[in-house]
Amino acid sequence: MKGRVVVLDEVQGRSAAALLVDGQLQDLLVDPETDAALPGAIYRCVADRPMKGQGGVFVKLPEGMGFLRQTAGIAPGARLLVQVTGPAEAGKAVPVSTRLLFKSRYAIATPGAPGRNISRRIKDEELRAELEALAEAGMKGASETLGLILRSACEMAGPEEVAADIHDMRALCEAVLADVDGEPELLVEGASAQETAWRDWAEPAPDEVVTGGFEDLGVIEMIEALMMARVDLPGAGHMMIEPTRALLAVDVNTGGDTSPAAGLKANIAAARDLPRQLRLRGLGGQIVIDFAPMPKRDRAVLDQVLRAAFKGEAAETSLVGWTTLGLYELVRKRDRLTLAEVLA
């Protein structure tokens, strides 16, 4: 199937969404089975004990604990508004931040980050001027500390839709900011898989939205392939993606290709596909790659391929570089539960 297709369905009885581009799976979201806090959820919490050695403080949530990497100006017992920034690892507190974002399809309200900003992807000057006017009108009378970002999806929306989104995000933000007092409580739920797809996959606009098409479009088989460590690459090569407790190990192999450039070809193919594989599998943290043998002079080429491959990734990624043993290191922020955990 050609084009950009969003598929909404269920996996193991749970809501899910898949993004296909020219028949290849580019992103996958599945709701977890547990009642764990979803990234983006906003809580009223109570500050607990600081962890000086870790540069943060534990906070009490309605169910369990959160960890806030911040201590300045926070006293035990203080009421705070925090937002979940990622999934909690087994046995650890939920990572949270006091930097709140109220995200929708077209608008993001940013308390504590003033200003009116429009996505740089929107190039049309006439449209930008129209959006600036909508932003000013929608935020008239708001607190000077409340900012607004208009997303690139505004390019495909009518002014009424954008204005309504601005109004809704501002109203929600102001209501939450005024609700600080009280016991720990969930104030805003995190977005589900299909809500996130509707919100974040709007640009570029999909050519088609299909409901209940996982079986017909082969998404089930693609998900099953993601549960395997082996990833076949173009040509004879493959890579193995294997999580451990300490790090994620990636091993690239040339397979049956014995040509002089076999190592470089397999490594380039692996580097290009690695961001997609990490995104689909929900993997992050410290990542160590054992690339196939190749001359050291080819490392510069591979560096360029890696930078280009990770450039457009939403998850924050730091390309650390080569070790003295010839391994490559990078760090990717964990922004979702691993697929293996969700479908366990």
Number of domains in the chain: 4
Distance CA 339, CA 330 (A): 20
**Where residue 256 falls among pLDDT bands split at 50, 70, 90?**
confident
Q: Are residues 151 and 48 in the same domain?
A: no
Kindly state whether residues 79 and 164 are assigned to the same domain.
no
| 38 vs 183, higher pLDDT | 183
Per-residue pLDDT tens digits for 21-40: 999 999 999 998 766 778 89
Q: Judge whether 197 lies within some domain.
A: no
pLDDT of residue 116: 94
Per-residue tokens: 126: 């006439």
Q: With beta carbons less than 8 A apart as the criterion, state whether 250 and 292 touch.
A: no
pLDDT for res 204: 87
Query: Do 65 and 79 share a structural domain?
Result: yes
Q: What is the structure's pLDDT at 309?
A: 97
Residue 165 token pair: 């989104």
What pLDDT was estimated at residue 54? 74
- Residues of the chain above pLDDT 70, percent: 99
Same domain, 8 and 58: no
Given pLDDT bands bounded at 50, 70 and 90, which one contains residue 91?
A: confident
Residues 93 and 109 in one domain: no
SS3 135: helix
Between CA 314 and CA 169 the distance in angstroms is 22
Determine, yes or no, domain membership for 138: yes
> By the 8 A CB rule, do 92 and 216 touch?
no
Q: What's the CATH code of the domain at 55?
A: 2.40.50.140
pLDDT tens-digit map of 94-109 = 999 999 999 999 999 9
**Does 89 have pLDDT greater than 80?**
no
- CA dihedral 277→281→284→290, nearest 10 degrees, is -50
283 shares a domain with 252: yes
Question: According to the model, what pLDDT value does residue 329 have?
Answer: 98
- In angstroms, what CA-CA distances link 28 with 31, 83, 144, 220, 319? 10, 23, 38, 11, 24
For residues 235 and 335, membership in a common domain is answered with yes
Q: Are residues 257 and 336 in the same domain?
A: yes
Asked whether residue 173 is domain-assigned, the answer is: yes
198 in any annotated domain: no
Shared domain for 257 and 305, answered yes or no, is yes
**Which CATH number goes with the domain that contains 279?**
3.40.630
Q: Is the pLDDT of residue 177 over 80?
A: yes
187 within domain boundaries: yes
User: Is 27 a domain residue?
Assistant: yes
The whole domain housing 208 covers 1-31+204-219
Q: What is the spatial order of strands in the sheet that 14-21 belongs to? A: 24-30, 14-21, 4-11, 208-211
pLDDT at 30: 95
Which residue, 97, 115, 141, sits at the end of a domain?
97
**CATH code for position 162:** 3.30.230
* 263-280 pLDDT tens trace: 999 999 999 999 999 999
Task: Give the tens place of pLDDT for each residue, 40-78.
Answer: 999 999 999 888 767 799 999 998 899 998 877 788 999
Last residue of a domain, one of 81, 97, 113: 97
CA distances to 23, 138, 203 from 4, rounded to whole Å, are 8, 32, 10
